[in-house]
């Protein structure tokens, strides 16, 4: 059990631990995150702006495909929602800027929302040229009684715009 205590004392906990880590957390259910690149169909204005700023379209891709971590403070409160991020990646693959463009609910702390996004690593696909790039992506944060029900909610969230209008 010491390993579990160590995980719980950190700022982030894997979504899978939410269901069984403590009685208070078990009442909240299971938390699941869902990453998606933004397309013009989900966010035309933001995607157009990112495309204008990028020097080479879509050269950088997400390198680590493990599930992103659900922010502990959100999980403990049972908070669901989404956040749209913008990041600037240098041609060396370093993240030079990472910002939350918007979130739902819009009362979430930026520092909380940045926790899972900071863990994303980027790579260039084979044969592509490295260049500076601005990317936008979205992370959905979903809760459910089971991992399956939380994933179903995330699938539904992913089809909706991440805004309050």
Helix, strand, coil in percent for the chain, rounding step 5: 35, 30, 40
Beta carbons of 30 and 150 less than 8 angstroms apart: yes
Q: Is the confidence at residue 165, as pLDDT, over 70? A: no
Q: pTM surpassing 0.75?
A: no
Q: Is the confidence at residue 85, as pLDDT, over 60? A: yes
Which of residues 8 and 163 earns the better pLDDT score?
A: 163
Domains with residue ranges and CATH for the chain: 2-158 (3.30.2420.10)
Q: What is the pLDDT of residue 26?
A: 37
Average pLDDT over residues 68-94: 91
Q: Rounded mean pLDDT of the chain?
A: 75
Q: pLDDT over 70 for what percent of the chain?
A: 70
Could you read off the pLDDT of 90-132 as tens digits, one per residue? Answer: 988 889 999 999 999 988 899 999 999 999 999 998 888 889 9
Query: DSSP code of 17?
Result: G
Average pLDDT over residues 141-145: 92
Tell me the sheet residues that pair with 88: 97, 134
Using CA atoms, how far residue 61 sits from 66, 128, 131, 160, 164, in Å, is 14, 11, 12, 23, 28
Could you read off the pLDDT of 13-44 as tens digits, one per residue? Answer: 333 332 223 334 335 578 888 888 875 333 44
Separation CA 52–CA 110 (nearest Å): 25
Band (pLDDT 50/70/90 cuts) for residue 154 is: very high
Q: What is the pLDDT of residue 93?
A: 87
Q: What is the pLDDT of residue 134?
A: 92
Q: What is the pLDDT of residue 22?
A: 35
Cis peptide before 105 (omega within 30 of 0): yes
């Amino acid at each position: 059990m010491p390993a579990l205590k160590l995980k719980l004392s950190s700022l982030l906990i894997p979504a899978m631990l939410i269901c069984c880590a403590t009685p208070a957390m078990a009442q909240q259910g299971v938390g699941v995150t869902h990453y998606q690149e933004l397309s013009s169909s989900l966010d035309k204005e933001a995607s157009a702006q990112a495309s204008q700023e990028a020097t080479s379209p879509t050269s950088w891709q997400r390198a680590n495909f493990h599930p992103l971590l659900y922010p502990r403070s959100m999980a403990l409160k049972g908070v669901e929602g989404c956040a749209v991020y913008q990041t600037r990646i240098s041609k060396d693959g370093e993240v030079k800027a990472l910002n939350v463009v918007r979130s739902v609910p819009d009362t979430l702390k930026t520092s909380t929302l940045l926790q899972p996004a900071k863990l994303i690593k980027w790579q260039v696909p084979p044969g592509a040229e490295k260049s500076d790039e601005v990317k936008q992506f979205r992370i959905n944060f979903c809760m459910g009684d089971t991992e399956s029900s939380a994933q179903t909610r995330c699938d539904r969230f992913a089809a909706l715009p991440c805004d309050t209008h």
